[in-house]
């Protein structure tokens, strides 16, 4: 039930923080010829992190000439995979919530609902783990590729000793760090829910039924024992002559019928 409330919410946090991200870093190029310097070059990038498409203009430090510089790398596959899984997990968990609350009896009909729910939950748990891991790796690469100190190395003017390049600020990462955290949190949530969905399938009831049958047999043999145990009757007032017949009768009639009722 706790899954029902949190799963759609946590999925939203995961894809909103990742898919809605945009960041900016800022570098400065201080040329020996002060007139050609640009002391504040802003570089914007956003989801889905196709960094090779992100470009900015930097002075070449020769008159007013400028060059267009591109960042390096493409992390869109991991980012889009993560967001896609999060969106589908959101849609599924929302649908499951509605079915669970409003169509409870339909859900249990034929046992097909719990069975599908179980398989889908296992698949989504696995997908959360894979996509969160891939996205965590991609994010660490994105952080490196957009590090202002690394970006300076791409600017040709910065390769000349006489020009001074500096980093004013890097991008904010708190949003993307949150998305990774929510990715793994979702994995834990879905993986933990496997057990609860598994209980709904009734497979564990089959196992419990077998265990229950075994314990009933044990109870049957136990009730027969007082016939042979004379010492037990002397000490305890529990087994009087009248009660002796009842347990065996109960075990013969009550046991098998309650067993077949459960079938
Ligand atoms: C410096 O670069 C920015 C782009 O980040 C541009 O908007 C601005 O006009 C440039 N300044 C000069 C002095 O060239």
pLDDT tens digits along 194-247: 998 888 887 776 666 666 555 444 444 444 444 444 444 444 444 444 444 444
Task: Give the integer Cα–Cα distance in Å for 201 and 229.
Answer: 44
Using a 6 Å cutoff on CB, does residue 41 contact ligand 1?
A: yes
Alpha-carbon torsion 238, 241, 247, 250, what sign?
A: negative
Per-domain residue ranges of the chain:
2-202
- The Å distance, Cα 60 to ligand 1 centre, comes to 13
Task: Give the integer Cα–Cα distance in Å for 91 and 245.
Answer: 61
Using a 6 Å cutoff on CB, does residue 38 contact ligand 1?
A: yes
Percent of the chain with pLDDT over 70: 76
- The Å distance, Cα 153 to ligand 1 centre, comes to 19
Q: Which residues touch 51 (CB under 8 Å, ≥6 apart)?
A: 45, 71, 72, 73, 74, 75, 142, 145, 146
User: From atom 13 of ligand 1, which residue's Cα is the shortest distance away?
Assistant: 38
pLDDT digits 0-9 by tens, 120-177: 999 999 999 999 999 999 999 999 999 999 999 999 999 998 999 999 999 999 999 9
Q: Which atom of ligand 1 is nearest to the CA of 39?
A: 1
User: From atom 2 of ligand 1, which residue's Cα is the shortest distance away?
Assistant: 41
């Amino acid at each position: 039930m706790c899954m029902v409330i949190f799963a759609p919410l946590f999925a939203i946090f995961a894809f909103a923080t990742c898919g809605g991200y945009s960041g900016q870093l800022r570098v400065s190029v201080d040329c020996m010829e002060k007139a050609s310097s640009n002391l504040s070059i802003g570089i914007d990038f956003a989801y889905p992190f196709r960094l090779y498409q992100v470009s900015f203009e930097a002075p070449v430090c020769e008159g007013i000439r400028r060059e267009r510089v591109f960042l390096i790398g493409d992390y869109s596959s991991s980012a889009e995979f993560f967001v896609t899984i999060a969106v589908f997990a959101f849609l599924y968990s929302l649908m499951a919530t509605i079915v669970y609350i409003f169509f409870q009896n339909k859900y249990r009909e034929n046992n097909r609902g719990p069975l599908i729910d179980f398989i889908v939950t296992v698949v989504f748990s696995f997908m959360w783990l894979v996509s969160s891991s891939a996205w965590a790796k991609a994010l660490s690469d994105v952080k490196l590729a957009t590090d202002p100190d690394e970006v300076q190395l791409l600017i040709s003017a910065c390769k000349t000793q006489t020009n001074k390049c500096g980093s004013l600020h890097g991008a904010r990462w708190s949003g993307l760090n949150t998305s990774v955290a929510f990715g793994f949190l979702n994995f834990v949530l879905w993986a933990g829910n496997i057990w609860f969905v598994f209980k709904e399938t009734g497979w564990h009831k089959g196992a419990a039924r077998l265990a229950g049958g075994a314990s009933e047999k044990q109870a049957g043999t136990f009730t027969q024992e007082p016939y042979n145990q004379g010492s037990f009757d002397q000490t305890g007032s529990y087994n009087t002559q009248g009660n002796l017949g009842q347990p065996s009768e109960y075990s013969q009639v009550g046991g098998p019928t309650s067993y077949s009722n459960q079938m």
